[in-house]
Every structure is written in C-alpha cells, then in structure tokens.
Amino acid sequence: MIGWERAQPPPCVALPLAKRGASLPAAPSRTDTCWPLITMDTLQRVFKGTFVHSTRSCAMEVLEHHILGVGTSGKILFLESDQEQENLLQKWGFEESKIEELSQNEFFMPGMIDTHIHAPQYAFVGSGMDKPLLQWLEFTTFPTEETFSNLDIAENVYRGVVQRTLMNGTTTACYFATIHTDSSLILADIAHQYGQRAFIGKVCMDSNETYPKYIESSEESIFETERFIEAMENKKYNRVKPIITPRFAISCSEKLLNELGDLADKFQLHIQSHISESVDEIAEVMRLFPGYNSYTEVYDRNKLLTSKTVMAHGCHLTDEELSIFRRKGAAISHCPNSNISLCSGHLDVQNVLKQKVKLGLGTDVAGGYSVSMLDAIRKAIETSKIIFMEKQKRKQENKTLDQNEIAQNGIASDLNSVNDTDHDYKVLSNQEAFRLATLGGSEALNIDHITGNFEVNKEFDALLISTAPEIRAHENLFEIPTEDAVQRFLFLGDDRNIKAVYVAGRCVVPFPRND
C-alpha cells in the first residue's frame, strides 16, 4: 500500500510527543519487538516571532510572540507563547543562542497547496488564452503534451515548473503529467530532488476524437499506470506519491474508468480528474455516457469518487451532485483563474462550503495563466465578488419587475422572487481564501493529518514572509497590524516576499547551491 495513510493505531509507538524531551526513556532491549519502530524526535530548530495559520475553527489565527520547535523528523514539536521559552528550552535541552528570531517585518505562514496543476502545460503558460476549453485542448494542449514522449523536453519543463512553484510558495502540488510513463517518473524524481511534496499523475486517456494522435489503448493505459505505480513504489519517495489520473470522462471509455477505479482501490491510491468545468464539456459527457444521469454519476458508478478524490473545477455541479461528493468525502479543486481564462464558468464557493464538500484551490496551469497560489487566492475572492454582484443585479431586476406587477395587478406574483440564500450571499473573505490555499488544500488532498497548518505533530511546511519596505518600496507595510500586513501580502505580494520555503522542516528555497 502506498500513499500518505492516516495513521492506524500502531502496534508499538514512541512516547507521546508531549512527554518527549530532555529526559529520554531508556532504550528498549534489542529483543524488544518495539525496537525498530521507536524513533526519538530531537529538537532541531526553534523559530520565534509571528505565525499565521488556519484552524478548523478560525480561518486566520495570528500568533504574535510565539515560539515554534521543529524536530529532526520535520514535525512541529511545539508552538507556544514565547513566555514559555525558558520552560521549553529546558525541557528540550536547547540553547537560547540557537533560536532563530524573525524580524518585525516577517511572519511564518503554512506552505500553500496547489490541488490542481498540469506540469507539462508550464511549457506554454500565458499563451493560448483566446479559446474555450475544448478548442484549447485540441489546438494548444494536446499537441504540446504529445511532445513529452521526449524525455529531454520533459526534464526541462518539469525542472522549471517545480522550481517556479516552490519559489512561489507551493509546498505541495497535485500534478497532472502526460500519458507518458517515463517522463511522468522524471517529474516525480525532480519534485523529490527539490523537496516538494507532490502527487504525480500519469494521465490516462483512451479516447480522443478531436486529436487522435495523443491517445493510448485502454489496455496500455492500465498496464502503464501499474508500471508507473510500481516504479514509484520502488523509489520509496517519502513525500512524492502516485495518483490515479483519468484525464476527464470525455477522454476515457467506461472500461478504462472502471479499471482505474479498481486500481485505485487495489493500491489504496488518491484519484484526480476534471468535472463539470464547462457547459459544452458536460453536454459531450452526457452524449458519450447516455446511461448515466449526471457527470458525477459517471465517476461515482466507476468507483472514482472516494475520500481520496480531488476533482478540478465543478463549476456547474448541481446541489444533488454536490451531495454525492459530500457523502463520498470527495473534494473539489477550485481553479478560478482557469475558469475565467477559458470562459468555463464560476464556481460558487460559498455554496460548496455550505454543502460541506471539501475544497481547495488550484492554479490549473496552463488553463490558468499563473503558477502562483497567491493569484488563486485573489481570483477566488474576485470570482466570489462577481457572483455577489450578479445576485445583487438579479435582486434589483426582480424588485423592478415586482413593482411593475404591483402597478399593473395590485399584487406581485412570486415568480420573480429571489432565493433566500441569494439575499444572504457573503463574499469570500480574505481569511477564508487563505484557509482554502493552506488547510483547505490539505483537507482536499486528504493529507490534513500531515500538513496544512502549524498544529503540533504535523510536518513543518512553511513560508517565511517578509513585508519589509525595501522589498516593495511603494507600499508602506511597515508597522501596521499583522492582520493588515497579511492581507496586503495576499493581494500585493509575490515571490520576492517569500524569503524561505520549508517542507517537513527542510529549507528548500533558496535552492541549495551545487558548488
């Protein structure tokens, strides 16, 4: 079994974290069956300053004057008020002089989680933005992806996308590669080399009416997916895992979808695909799968909707379909840049959250033109504002219709009445968007027991942010309340503000020098 499994109660465990520390328990004897499993985490680094993260109950928690300890395992051992400093140092046997103190302009936030990105499409990011989805796939995307049978092309583009996303603060990326197994393995290796946490999907597609050159048979697709999974297993990467990746229903036969569902189950793997991105796409799916009632049903009846599934877009899902997502514990990756760039539609984030469906953000490079998750945060907020304005406009139009009806008939029919929920619509807050890019992403990928915020025992995936005035001279971010500095970073910041990136406690940006 591979993947980041939620811990089963282990047969034998080390002491609870709170009890670990300076006074180590005696090592068990060699004959003790627990011996190989005991690992003592020792305190490796301590940071002091401001930490900003999300929890289940608080979209954005700002912890000033705090102290955070990271163990050799890469896990967070404590996060407490710095008033506890002396006790903590004593308990963990750590020297005060080794504490790394942040400046007034700096804070730590969790690493961002891109729940949907196409690594090969980095090759043409920012171009081909003048077509709707299906034409864009046919004329821009498939011809480019086809060239990834060439391993040199793959190596070059994949190195670029891993470097660029890491520099922009993506500590976890859920990647689509191409149909080519060997170049997909190169992507896995590069993510591993650079220390990025990643899911890698060898893309599966056995149908392609519009561009038949970029295709595999269903047998080949299953055989190659198994080869990919096995090769990944043999590599034993700690933080890079395979993910079952049917491209979308249009490019997969029912047989292929079904067999991929079986593979996901057999190896207990994560699953990713696209769903209900554009109206034309949905019509095509319903034409190709006449025996199904909805797009969601196509995946669900083929065992592709599980608690480890993340489906990109979902702009046009009905509430009934969303309720299937909720029941199955499947997640949606909201890709607002792509939704706008390809004129696919808007996802109503507030409705998805109301329906209690797991939700993360994705860049969807290169349907989306930015590799930055900060851009995804901004576009998610802007999309929500557009929906808000549309609802306001509808409300105003209906009010006018009502007034006209009253003038004519003395009473208004309720034909024009706006749904109650439309009146309550709230724009997605900055804090909630921040949560979607961090903790939400970890929930969507079902790795929230490992990463997503600064809870003790999770791995330290973090960004050291600097809002110092010399970085952006034209905005005075100096000496403003932390909440305001965070908000301004979310709207105005970029990779220049990201001074360091940590994955599981290891500094991965700036990149280590080779000399």
Ligand X SMILES: Nc1nc2[nH]cnc2c(=O)[nH]1
The residues binding Zn ion (CB under 5 A) are 312, 364
> Residues 308, 446: contact at Cβ < 8 Å?
yes
Instruction: For the segment 136-165, give every residue that binds ligand X (CB under 6 A).
Output: 137, 141
How many C-beta atoms lie closer than 10 Å to residue 104's C-beta?
A: 13
In angstroms, rounded to a whole number, what is the distance separating the alpha carbons of residues 320 and 301? 15
Q: What span, in angstroms and rounded, lies between the C-alpha atoms of 43 and 94?
A: 7
Backbone angles phi, psi at 348, to 5 degrees: -85, 90
Binding-residue pattern over the window 271 to 310 for ligand X, x denoting contact by CB under 6 A: ---x--x---------------------------------
**Nearest distance in Å: CB 190, ligand X:** 20
Residue closer to Zn ion, measured from CB, 69 or 201:
201
**Closest CB to ligand X among residues 251, 438:** 251
Alpha carbon distance 38, 27 (integer Å): 9
Alpha-carbon distances of 69 from 25, 45, 76, 464, 494, rounded to whole Å: 20, 6, 6, 15, 27
Nearer to ligand X among residue 106 and residue 277 (C-beta): 277
Q: Which does 161 bind (CB under 5 to 8 A by kind): Zn ion, ligand X, none?
A: none
* Nearest residue relative to ligand X (C-beta): 367
Query: Scanning residues 28 to 67, which ones bind ligand X (CB under 6 A)?
Result: none
Q: Considering beta carbons, is residue 44 or 207 the nearer one to ligand X?
A: 207
Distance of CA 369 to the CA centre of its chain: 17
Minimum gap (Å) between residue 247 Cβ and ligand X: 5
- What CA–CA distance (Å, rounded) separates 444 from 246? 18
111 touches 501 (CB < 8 A): yes
Interface stretch with ligand X, choices 85-93, 133-141, 315-323, 453-461 (CB under 6 A): 133-141
Question: 62 vs 134, which CB is nearer to ligand X?
Answer: 134
In the complex, least distance from residue 445 CB atom to ligand X, rounded to whole angstroms: 18
Closest to ligand X by CB, 218 vs 333, is 333
Would residue 189 be called left, alpha or beta, if left means φ above 0 and alpha means ψ between -120 and 50 degrees?
Answer: alpha
Task: List the single partner that 378 binds among Zn ion, ligand X, none, CB under 5 to 8 Å by kind.
Answer: none
Among 442, 343, 331, CA closest to 383: 343
CB of 139 to Zn ion, least distance (A): 16
Q: Does 364 bind ligand X (CB under 6 A)?
A: yes
The binder of 187, among Zn ion, ligand X, none, by C-beta within 5 to 8 A per type, is none
Residue of closest CB approach to Zn ion: 364
Strands 100-101 and 106-110: unpaired
Query: Where does 72-156 show beta strands of DSSP type E?
Result: 76-81, 100-101, 106-110, 112-118
- 371 neighbors 168 (Cβ within 8 angstroms): yes
Binding to ligand X (CB under 6 A) within 215-254 occurs at 247-248
* Interface residues toward ligand X, by CB under 6 A: 118, 133, 137, 141, 247-248, 274, 277, 338, 364, 367
